[in-house]
Amino acid sequence: MRIALAGTGPLGVTLLSAMLDSPHEVVALLRNGRVATAFGKRLLPPLAAVFAPQTSVLGVARRAKIPVFYIDRMDESELAPLRALEPDLLLVGGFGIVLKRPLLELPSRGCVNCHSSLLPKHRGPNPFTAAILAGEAESGVTFHTMTEGIDAGAVLLQYAFPIDETDTGGSVYRKSCVTAGALVLDVLDALERGELHGTPQDEAAATYDKRLREDELHLDWSRPARELDRLVRACVPFSLARFTHRGRTVYVSRTSWDGEASQAPPGTITRAAYPVRVATGHGHLVVEAAHTATVFAGLWPGLYKRPRVGERLG
């Protein structure tokens, strides 16, 4: 099949790399035109062919001499060059804008999205974080047909993988990329043979997860330690969870927890030596890796202004 790809980040690179080693022909790479300047649209593609790393979907595409199109309004003037390439299918993975009907109807075989969750759960831009926050034992990848609704089309293929107690948002995303890369050619081949028709999603079971707001990243010490550990892991390496100590924001990248009861109020330091141990609403959170982000950023706790037993964290 002749395939256009609307993909970004590691997921986009994984999908593109798999297709380049297949009988399918990638005829175009679609980019988000809403975040690119006119200067960048002209300059980035030729530069990417030389300087972009193999982790850049633009770099991989340009080295393979794949044309690049920037999508914004999705009107006919913008879509005409893509239409001229006569793509059979548009494959989407991690694209930053919602596709409108003119683009959805352009490929002869329609559009397929690769979403990093077990739909209909965790629609939207934040499935990796959401699965960890929900304490789920598994996540996965879903290939589905695309409609004008967000992640709402019929499911073509799903594959689950486990989430363990050490997984982060980043590691769940990496697992989803590896899984997608292993499945994408099976999906494309089956579609070409007319063997995949899709199963409608159960709308009653659907959930949607936005990106976490700034205030949602702040550790609420009244919550159980296990939940706070999930928040820390879910945010790595995107927007780190945080707390305040003596007026300074401390960003947390690794914790553990225990369920031992404490008489100290939530947020109280119960062990000041590394790793710092903090009482929560239930159990203790152990801060194993954290840093401040002032002009002179450094590890927390540092050599100076060390925390004290009995201090309260914000």
SS3 71: strand
- The residues pairing with 242 across neighbouring beta strands, listed in sequence order, are 218, 251
| DSSP string over 166-196 | T--HHHHHHHHHHHHHHHHHHHHHHHHTT--
* Start-to-end CA span in the chain (Å): 56
Please tell me the predicted confidence (pLDDT) of residue 42: 59
- Mean predicted confidence (pLDDT) in 269-279: 95
Residue 295 has pLDDT above 60, yes or no: no
3-state helix, strand, coil in the chain (%, to 5): 30, 25, 45
Give Cα 296 distance to the centre of its chain.
Answer: 30
Q: What is the pLDDT of residues 2-13, one digit of tens each?
A: 999 999 999 999
Q: What is the pLDDT of residues 109-150, one digit of tens each?
A: 999 999 999 999 999 999 999 999 999 999 999 999 999 989
SS3 150: coil
Residue 54 is given by DSSP the state: T
Q: What is the pLDDT of residues 85-116, one digit of tens each?
A: 999 999 999 998 899 999 999 999 999 999 99
- The residues pairing with 222 across neighbouring beta strands, listed in sequence order, are none
Q: What is the pLDDT of residues 220-244, one digit of tens each?
A: 999 999 999 999 999 999 899 999 9
Only one residue has tokens 């939940």, namely 227
Q: What residues contact residue 248 under an 8 Å CB cut-off, 6+ apart?
A: 292, 294
> Quick one: pLDDT band at residue 48, thresholds 50, 70, 90?
low
Residue 285 is given by DSSP the state: E
Q: What mean pLDDT, rounded, does the chain reach? A: 91
Distance CA 197, CA 193 (A): 11
pTM: predicted TM-score of the whole model, two decimal places: 0.92
Angle of helix 169-192 relative to helix 9-20, nearest 10 degrees, comes to 30
Residue 308 is given by DSSP the state: -
Domains of the chain: 2-205 (3.40.50.170), 214-292 (3.10.25.10)
Residue 39 has pLDDT above 60, yes or no: no
Tokens representing 52 are 């972009």
Distance CA 280, CA 179 (A): 36
